[in-house]
Amino acid sequence: MQNATDSLPYQFPTSSIPSVNQSAETQDRVYLVDDDAIHRDFIKRLCDSAGLETTCFSSASAFLVDAAELPSGCLLLDMMMPGMDGLALFQHIAEQKLPMTSVLMTGFADTTSCRAAFRAGMFDFVDKDRPPMEILETIKLAIAHNKKSKQQASEPCVADYQWDVLTERESEVAHLLMEGDTLKQIASQLQISVQTASKHRSRVFEKTNVNSEVELLKVTMAKSQAA
């Protein structure tokens, strides 16, 4: 089986790359963890040719020294490495919830490992024998996914914000509504009139931008899952 480095020298498409100036915050980053110096150098040059800022590590332990301080980006992992292999490293950073989108490079198909990694959040696998531009395309897709995830995480959730502006009484009514209580039951528990309970319900719906108790429950569950 041939991999990308077997076809060296490869003509990197530097002439087709647009000249752009990216700030430190918007720079597209790749973190490459691979014990094979030749393959590591090849992938770095491939990424450099696309204008990606690439930082290389020769082992999982070397990456973990600085991992917690690194800006978000695409983490490109070699499957087979001495010590902690790529899959074990991915599982470790997944547990730590580091802001990385991971791609595992492998020279063989391991369906069981693939399934386990995908369940844990692995973005993709890429065979080392794939054409260089296909490898690069996978990396670019991972970077795009990472940016989208970062943007979604930084944007305030409308439901979160609107929930925070509920008064104490409105919050009490909202929780009772989600438990399935009727307005009459809510009025009895809170020692208020049914009419007052109805007004509180209307304000809850307005502030949380929902139209029913079911929708209120859905946005609350989504909020809990995102936390």
- In this structure, what CATH number is given to the domain that contains residue 214? 1.10.10.10
Tell me if 49 sits within 8 A of 14, measured CB to CB: yes
142 located within any domain = yes
Q: What is the model's pLDDT at position 177?
A: 86
20 located within any domain = no
Q: Can you give the length of the chain in residues?
A: 227
Give which of 42, 114, 37 is closest to 79, Cα–Cα. 114
Q: Which residues pair with 128 in a beta bridge?
A: none
Q: Same structural domain for residues 37 and 110?
A: yes
Question: Quick check: 98 pLDDT over 80?
Answer: yes
Q: What is the model's pLDDT at position 62?
A: 95
Q: What is the model's pLDDT at position 190?
A: 95
107 located within any domain = yes
17 located within any domain = no
Tell me if 56 sits within 8 A of 11, measured CB to CB: no
Share of the chain above pLDDT 90, in %: 41
> CA-to-CA distance for 46 and 184, rounded, in angstroms?
67
Residue 126's SS3 state is strand
Q: Same structural domain for residues 178 and 127?
A: no
38 located within any domain = yes
Q: Same structural domain for residues 42 and 92?
A: yes
Q: What is the model's pLDDT at position 61?
A: 94
Most confident of 13-27, 120-134, 183-197, 198-212: 183-197
Backbone angles phi, psi at 112, to 5 degrees: -60, -45
Q: Same structural domain for residues 39 and 135?
A: yes
212 located within any domain = yes
Higher pLDDT, 1 or 110: 110
Confidence of residue 107 (pLDDT cuts 50, 70, 90): confident
- The total number of structural domains in the chain stands at 2
Q: What is the model's pLDDT at position 63?
A: 95
Q: Same structural domain for residues 42 and 148?
A: yes
Q: Same structural domain for residues 139 and 172?
A: no
Q: What is the model's pLDDT at position 18?
A: 38
Q: Same structural domain for residues 106 and 205?
A: no
Domain range for 136 is 4-9+25-154
16 located within any domain = no
Question: What pTM, to 2 d.p., does this model score?
Answer: 0.59
Question: Quick check: 15 pLDDT over 50?
Answer: no
Report the pLDDT averaged over residues 139-151. 85
Q: Same structural domain for residues 178 and 150?
A: no
Estimate to the nearest angstrom the gap between the alpha carbon of 98 and the chain centroid.
9
Q: Same structural domain for residues 146 and 104?
A: yes
195 located within any domain = yes
The beta strands (E) that lie in 41-87 are given as 53-57, 73-78
Report the pLDDT averaged over residues 99-122. 74
Q: What is the model's pLDDT at position 45?
A: 94
| DSSP string over 88-146 | HHHHHHHHHT-SEEEEEEESS--HHHHHHHHHTT--EEEETTS-HHHHHHHHHHHHHHH
Least confident of 35-39, 86-90, 124-128, 197-201: 124-128
Q: Is the peptide bond before 9 cis (omega within 30 degrees of 0)?
A: yes
Q: Same structural domain for residues 106 and 169?
A: no
Write out the two tokens for 96.
Answer: 């730590």
Write out the two tokens for 6.
Answer: 């077997």
Q: Same structural domain for residues 36 and 144?
A: yes
- Which residue matches tokens 């260089």? 132
Residues 6 or more apart from 96 whose CB is under 8 A from it? 67, 68
Confidence of residue 64 (pLDDT cuts 50, 70, 90): very high
Residues 6 or more apart from 71 whose CB is under 8 A from it? 24, 27, 29, 99
| Number of other residues whose CB lies within 10 A of the CB of residue 12 | 17
* Domain termination residue (choose one: 154, 187, 212): 154
Share of the chain above pLDDT 70, in %: 73
Residue 69 belongs to domain with CATH number: 3.40.50.2300
Q: What is the model's pLDDT at position 152?
A: 60
Q: Same structural domain for residues 213 and 115?
A: no
